[in-house]
Structure 1
Amino acid sequence: MKALITGASSGIGREFALYLAELGYDLIICSRSTDKLNALKDEIKNVSVRVITIDLSRESDAFDLYEHLKEEDIDVLINNAGFGAFGKFLNVPLEREVELIHTNVSSVHILTKCFLKDMQSKNSGLILNVGSMAGFSAGPKLSSYYASKNYVVRLTQAINEELRRDGSKVKISVLCPGPVETNFNNVANVRFTTKGLNARDVARYAFDKARQGKIIIIPGFLMKTVKFFEHFLPENLLTRISYNVQSKKEGK
């Protein structure tokens, strides 16, 4: 068995790698941080680990990654790479937003489509896209990030329904956590207003649920409760609430 994990150098991606290694998967781990990937490789002793340094903020790198690995017979793809950019829409540099879109949207779309074709041809495999609770609403002051995660959630749901109707044995899921103790807030230049979940717990819960065929995976009782009550509020009110929540994240 072989798994490909993007954004594997830290946080949830790193924990995915450690857990899948425990389960006996040979790993291909990718990110921009070669040193962190090599340190993770040295930590894992029981399976084969291959390191690929790649920058998925460049759209061409996703195509290059697939071309490099298309003969590898990937059983599991975890699209974990992603980041946020905090600030009002007009204030966030466009170049940063384009990098975000390439990382959070384009690379996820490209890798999902390319590897899904291979999995469908053998009628087996699992794809786990890492979304966010942000994928269920609009997010003023994190507008591009929220929009990108909406894309990931809805794309995954649509693909799942197509696979279901085709009678495919390929599984696809999306992980939608709330705050998690990772490097996300440092990259996005924000601070969380609630304590984050443990990345190790989130990764293990998510992969177990994905193997069971769960489509939308929301770890933690609090976020499940939030998602439930969102159904009863109008969109414009949710957006106003979101603005107030994001405003509290400023000033780290």
Structure 2
Amino acid sequence: MIQAQENMINEKGWAIVTGASKGLGFAYCKELLKKGFNVVGVARNTDTLDELKTINPNVEIKKINLDLSSNESAMKLFELTKDLNITLVINNAGYGVLGKFTETDLEKELNMINLNINCLHIISKLFIQKFQINNKGRIINIGSIASFIPGPGFSSYYASKAYVLNLGVAINTELKKSKSKVRLVTVCPVLLKTDFLLRITDGKKKANYSKFNSIDTNVFAKKSLNKAFKTNKNYIIIGKINKLVTLSFKLLPQKYFLNKIYKFQTKRKK
């Protein structure tokens, strides 16, 4: 399996990264270019990707401006790239709507669900079907540590990431059972040093990362990408402490964590 992934890199095929304009998506684009991939960066506005063109002049970077919060845009992405030698897709686009379920804006939640779930579902299906033709290729879907437990105070986001994880585990199991060489790996990060909190609080708050077991986005992109290329596992978590946290979700009473999460999320909203 490791050799197969090394061959994939050496072919210098194309990798698609959604949510590529900043944060983790931008970091993944940088790492992929260094590894010799040609990159298709997808976001509502991809102007920030221009600075990456000088990282490795021997590979290409294409920019596609799309709002993937509609089914039509997700399908359009496939149509625009189906003639390229795509060997890797990273479904990274997504965001959250913070607040109590009775108080959050329904339109924003539905838009989030379209992006976090529908878009990821469509792109995963279309490209896995394409990869099956040549029996090679890999999907990396970005879940979260939130995938493993309900999140009162941030309920729709946690639920959307649970969908990402459970869908990915099921698909990857199907692929392994059918002896396919295609793989879908779900990466589950904790809090990264991005502007995520600014978006979910409508620009009102910036995270104090010293309080959390957070990780630099570029470091996480490099570690998770290297591991996702090599692993045969259904999902990966980076860091021993983060693995222990997810394990504790299974071992300790759920009520304990629900109370902790509720207090934490409602405090962030204020």
What TM-score, normalized to structure 2? 0.88
Deviates more, 1:157-166 or 1:45-54: 45-54
Query: Hey, what does 1:48 align to over in structure 2?
Result: 60
Determine the C-alpha separation between the residues in 2 that align with 1:140 and 1:220: 25
| CA distances 1:90-110 after superposition (whole Å, capped 9, x unpaired) | 111111001100110000000
Query: Hey, what does 1:83 align to over in structure 2?
Result: 95
Deviates more, 1:222-231 or 1:131-140: 222-231
| CA distances 1:171-224 after superposition (whole Å, capped 9, x unpaired) | 210110111001111111154651521111111111111111232111122211
2:143 aligned partner, one-letter code: G
How many residue pairs were aligned? Answer: 251
Aligned-residue CA RMSD in angstroms?
Answer: 1.5
Q: Kindly tell me: are residues 41 and 107 of structure 1, through their superposed partners in 2, closer, same or farther at Cα, counting changes over 3 Å?
A: farther
> Percent identical across equivalent pairs?
36
Q: 1:159 aligns with which of 167, 171, 174?
A: 171
SS in 1 for 2:64: strand
Determine the C-alpha separation between the residues in 2 that align with 1:81 and 1:129: 9
Determine the C-alpha separation between the residues in 1 that align with 2:246 and 2:128: 29
Determine the C-alpha separation between the residues in 1 that align with 2:173 and 2:145: 21
Deviates more, 1:67-76 or 1:1-10: 67-76
Q: 1:181 aligns with which of 161, 173, 193?
A: 193
Determine the C-alpha separation between the residues in 2 that align with 1:68 and 1:17: 19
1:1-252 mapped onto 2 (5 Å cutoff): 1-41=13-53, 44-189=56-201, 191=207, 193-213=211-231, 214-251=233-270
Determine the C-alpha separation between the residues in 2 that align with 1:37 and 1:90: 38
8 Å contact kept, 1:30–1:37: no
Unaligned runs of 5+ in 1: none
Deviates more, 1:207-216 or 1:127-136: 207-216
Q: Kindly tell me: are residues 59 and 42 of structure 1, through their superposed partners in 2, closer, same or farther at Cα, counting changes over 3 Å?
A: farther
Determine the C-alpha separation between the residues in 2 that align with 1:162 and 1:153: 14
SS in 1 for 2:251: coil
Determine the C-alpha separation between the residues in 2 that align with 1:122 and 1:219: 30
SS in 2 for 1:75: strand
Determine the C-alpha separation between the residues in 1 that align with 2:46 and 2:246: 37
**Residue 78 of structure 1: how far off its partner (Å):** 0.2
| CA distances 1:149-179 after superposition (whole Å, capped 9, x unpaired) | 0000000000011001000111210110111
Determine the C-alpha separation between the residues in 1 that align with 2:100 and 2:260: 15
Unaligned runs of 5+ in 2: 1-12
8 Å contact kept, 1:14–1:40: no
Q: Kindly tell me: are residues 44 and 102 of structure 1, through their superposed partners in 2, closer, same or farther at Cα, counting changes over 3 Å?
A: farther
